């Protein structure tokens, strides 16, 4: 799916009662801050958004009759366009609202709020032009979906990183909203030559890169349907490889257990098919591809 498009993916489920909420709304925002070297940490964010747009819809479980509705916001979009896309998704009747923020964060001059840097920003106007973090969280809190999850793959320059690392109580509280759990990684983006080895959103070793790999391969020891918390150890192992290579550790955002968002574990499916004869395996594949229902659908 190309940037700027939206669509529906996933197997259809059995429709429930009229008006029953179903489906997953997925909004991916990979913001490119533009040519200013200060925001080079956002240069591959769009690639990460595209990777998640490919990896997540096929494994979303129990999406009901409405499937997985995907919106990929163009990387050059301004904050208003990003927020408009998010609000449109939040108004949909569905079970889950999953939002991905990828790019570079900047703090306001008083060090109390955060924003995702958007295209055409400069050091002087980056916060004013950016997509405010609290706008995103507020929109998700007031969405019609039963549950929300915010995927985070971002970096921050040293001044903003210091606030995220405990230098500001207000900024710290932005990352702990009870109704919007976070899953991802926030990393530092150093100045000077060290920035060349830093892990950047969408690049190798980033959260979006790691999650896409785990979703594709699955978790061998986990059940067929898993929540984000069940995948965290596997994702963390992929992230550890990137941090070892760069020598620049980040902060992991660990999702809580007990949520109702379920993802198909491809490793468990492959393991179940491994013991079948060829004819039985073919029958199982054909059944999965042609069935019109999802276990546990509406």
- Note the Cα 145 to chain centre separation in Å: 17
Q: What is the pLDDT of residue 245?
A: 73
Rounded to a whole number of angstroms, the CA Rg of the chain reads: 19
- Which helix (H) or strand (E) element contains residue 190? none
pLDDT in the model for residue 3: 45
Token match 């997540």: residue? 56
Residue 229 host element (H or E): helix 228-246
**What's the token pair of residue 261?**
């968002």
Q: Do the Cβ atoms of 95 and 260 come closer than 8 Å?
A: yes
| 29 DSSP β-pair partners | 73, 101
The gap from C-alpha 81 to its chain's centroid, in whole angstroms, comes to 19
| Cβ proximity of 8 and 60 under 8 Å | no
Cα 52 to Cα 239: distance, rounded to the nearest angstrom? 16
- Mind listing the domains of the chain with CATH numbers? 6-290 (3.40.50.1460)
pLDDT score, position 15: 33
Instruction: Return the closest-CA partner of residue 252 out of 271, 239, 267.
Output: 239
Burial (CB count within 10 angstroms: exposed 0-12, middle 13-18, buried 19+), residue 19: exposed
Q: Are 103 and 116 in contact (CB under 8 A)?
A: yes
**pLDDT for position 77:** 97
Angstrom distance (rounded) from CA 100 to CA 148: 11
| Residue that has been written with the tokens 């991916």 in this structure | 28
Nearest to 132 by CA among 117, 121, 151: 117
Report yes or no: 263 and 225 within 8 Å, Cβ to Cβ: yes
Per-residue pLDDT tens digits for 217-246:
999 988 999 999 999 999 999 999 878 777
Residue 96 structure tokens? 């889950």
133, 171 contact by CB (below 8 A):
no
pLDDT tens by residue, the chain, 298 residues: 444 555 655 333 333 333 446 789 999 999 999 899 889 999 999 999 999 999 999 999 767 667 899 999 999 999 999 999 999 999 998 899 999 999 999 999 888 899 999 999 998 999 999 999 999 999 999 999 999 999 999 999 999 999 988 767 788 788 888 899 999 999 999 877 766 778 999 999 999 999 999 999 999 988 999 999 999 999 999 999 878 777 788 999 999 988 889 999 998 866 554 445 445 444 445 444 444 444 444 4
Q: Are 220 and 271 in contact (CB under 8 A)?
A: yes
Look at residues 216, 211, 233, 197 and name the one whose alpha carbon lies nearest to residue 267: 216
């Amino acid at each position: 799916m190309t940037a700027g498009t939206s669509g529906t993916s996933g197997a259809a489920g059995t429709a429930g009662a009229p008006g029953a909420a179903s489906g997953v709304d997925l909004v991916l925002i990979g913001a490119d801050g533009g040519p200013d070297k200060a925001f080079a940490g956002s240069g591959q964010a769009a690639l990460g958004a595209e990777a998640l747009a490919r990896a997540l819809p096929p494994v979303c479980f129990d999406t009901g009759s409405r499937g997985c509705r995907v919106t990929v916001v163009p990387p050059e979009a301004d904050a208003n366009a990003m927020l408009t896309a998010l609000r449109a998704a939040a108004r949909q009747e569905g079970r889950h609202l999953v939002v991905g923020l990828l790019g570079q964060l900047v703090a306001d001059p008083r060090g109390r709020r955060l924003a995702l840097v958007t295209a055409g920003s400069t050091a002087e106007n980056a916060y004013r032009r950016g997509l405010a973090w609290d706008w995103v969280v507020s929109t998700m809190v007031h969405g019609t979906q039963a549950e929300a999850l915010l995927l985070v793959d971002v970096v921050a320059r040293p001044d903003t990183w210091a606030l995220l690392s405990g230098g500001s109580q207000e900024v710290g509280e932005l990352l702990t909203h009870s109704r919007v759990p976070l899953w991802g990684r926030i990393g530092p983006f150093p100045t000077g030559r060290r920035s060349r080895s830093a892990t950047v959103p969408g690049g190798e070793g980033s959260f979006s890169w790691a999650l896409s790999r785990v979703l594709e391969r699955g978790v061998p020891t986990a059940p067929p349907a898993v929540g984000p918390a069940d995948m965290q150890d596997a994702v963390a192992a992929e992230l550890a490889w990137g941090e070892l290579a760069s020598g620049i550790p980040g902060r992991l955002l660990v999702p809580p257990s007990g949520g109702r968002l379920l993802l198909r574990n491809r490793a468990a499916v492959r393991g179940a098919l491994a013991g079948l004869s060829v004819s039985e395996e073919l029958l199982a594949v054909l059944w999965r591809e042609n069935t019109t229902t999802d276990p546990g659908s509406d």
